[in-house]
Structure 1
Amino acid sequence: MARKNNDTPQNKIVNEILEQYNPTTVEDMQNALKDIFGPMFEAMLKGEMNNHLGYENNDHREKKTTNRRNGYTKKVLKTSNGSIPINVPRDREATFEPKLIPKRSKDVSGIQDKVLSMYAKGMSQRDIADTIEDIYGF
């Protein structure tokens, strides 16, 4: 019988979480997940902003648009693990409409549960990103 490969991206993430947070209770693990989901949502929103503006952050080449990044707005998301504060990027012309977490929307427990279930099924980060793009269009 072949041994299961423990070098998967999911196992590496799990091992890093266990090493950094050393959770001993379910509450400890939930707090670790809260710490992870905030930056993950922020990174996804930054990716949406890059797509919206048509250029990456700190790209110093000539731009096709006059619209630029204009800081961040604080937002508190409701997840199945509790509240998570994040910074949502904004643009000068206020035309950025996030698809992942739409304006005036705060409950992301459905998205969070989908991402966790994809990890549990053994999907790689690339597979998860592709699935999110299929579902949400970005």
Structure 2
Amino acid sequence: MSRRKEPAIPNELLDQLLAGGAASAAFEQGGLLDSLKKALTERALNAEMDHHLAADDGTGNTRNGYGRKTVMTDTGKLAIDVPRDRQASFDPQLIA
């Protein structure tokens, strides 16, 4: 009897992500995988900004919207929103 390996991502979450669309469309440009890349990248960049602002105690530096950056991925170009700060001292490490 073969044992099934536990999935790294729960099947219920995958079902939610794939709901309403063809599974094959997930791999197309602009599909689910690109949406996940964008969401994870932007979340990491916002976490970097949170860390940056927490380290600037008392300087009065705050968030100041977002800038747009286009990065190349294995599936093509991906437009991401990169957070900005008022003092323009934020230098993201994930997407330099």
TM tier, shorter chain?
Answer: 0.7 to 0.9
Cα 1:32–1:9, aligned 2, differ >3 Å: closer, same or farther?
A: same
Structure 1 residues 49-128: aligned runs within 5 Å? 49-54=49-54, 64-102=58-96
Query: How far apart are 1:86 and its partner, in Å?
Result: 1.1
1:16 Cα shift?
2.9
- Residue in 1 aligned with 2:33? 33
Cα distance, 1:72–1:35 mapped onto 2, change above 3 Å? same
Which has the higher Rg, Structure 1 or Structure 2? 2
* Equivalent position amino acid for 1:101 in 2: I
Cα distance 1:20–1:100, how it changes in 2: closer, same or farther (>3 A)? farther
State the partner residue of 1:45.
45
SS of structure 2 residue aligned to 1:54: helix
The 3-state SS of whatever aligns with 1:78 is strand
State the TM-score, normalizing by the size of structure 2. 0.77
Aligned equivalents of 1:23 and 1:15: distance in 2? Answer: 10
- Asked if 2 retains the 8 angstrom alpha-carbon contact of 1:70 and 1:90, the reply is yes
Structure 1, unmatched stretches of 5+, are 56-62, 103-138
Q: Alignment identity in percent? A: 33
Give the structure 2 partner of residue 136 of structure 1. none
SS in 2 for 1:101: coil
Gaps of 5+ in 2: none
User: What is the TM-score of this pair, normalised by structure 1?
Assistant: 0.56
Higher strand share: 2
Query: What SS does the aligned partner of 1:41 have?
Result: helix
